[in-house]
Amino acid sequence: MLNHDILILILLIGNVAITLLLVWHHVRLKKMFSDFRIENSTEISEASGAFKKSKKVVVKSQVFLGNLPIGGPIVVSESVQEEVSMEKMEAILNTISNPLARIGFRVIRKKITGI
């Protein structure tokens, strides 16, 4: 019976020691990560071409521990919006494409008819 009581006492002391160790570790981690923060940044870029305008929005996150960055910035989201100018497309078609198409049709008609 005495061996059984000693075994229970040893297990109880072991459980208390493990609990104290876990609490100490938790307090230490909480203190260590009290300066842990995440900063978000937004980058907006615009580009204009002959026929379209585009806007790109990139949201990045950076993890810091104190003032020390951990790793590089992580891209959280990226969005691109494009707007095509139909007036410019029609102007190009009317000034360049349509005359070229007419010339092409004339050449084909001459080849077919032999005139």
80 and 99 within one domain: no
Bridge partners, residue 62, by sequence:
39
Rounded (10°) CA dihedral 82, 86, 89, 94: 180
Q: Residue 75: pLDDT band by 50, 70, 90 thresholds? A: very high
Do residue 64 and residue 111 come from a single domain?
Answer: no
Bridge partners of 82?
A: 54
Where in the sequence is the domain holding 78, given as residue range(s)? 2-84
pTM exceeds 0.75, yes or no = no
pLDDT, tens only, 10-63: 889 999 999 999 999 888 877 776 778 899 999 999 998 877 889 999 999 999
Shared domain check, 44 and 72: yes
23 shares its domain with 65: yes
pLDDT at 115: 61
Q: How many domains does the chain have?
A: 2
Q: Are residues 78 and 112 in the same domain?
A: no
Distance CA(5)–CA(8), nearest Å, equals 5
Asked if residue 92 and residue 55 are part of one domain, the reply reads no
The reply to whether 89 and 75 lie within a common domain is no
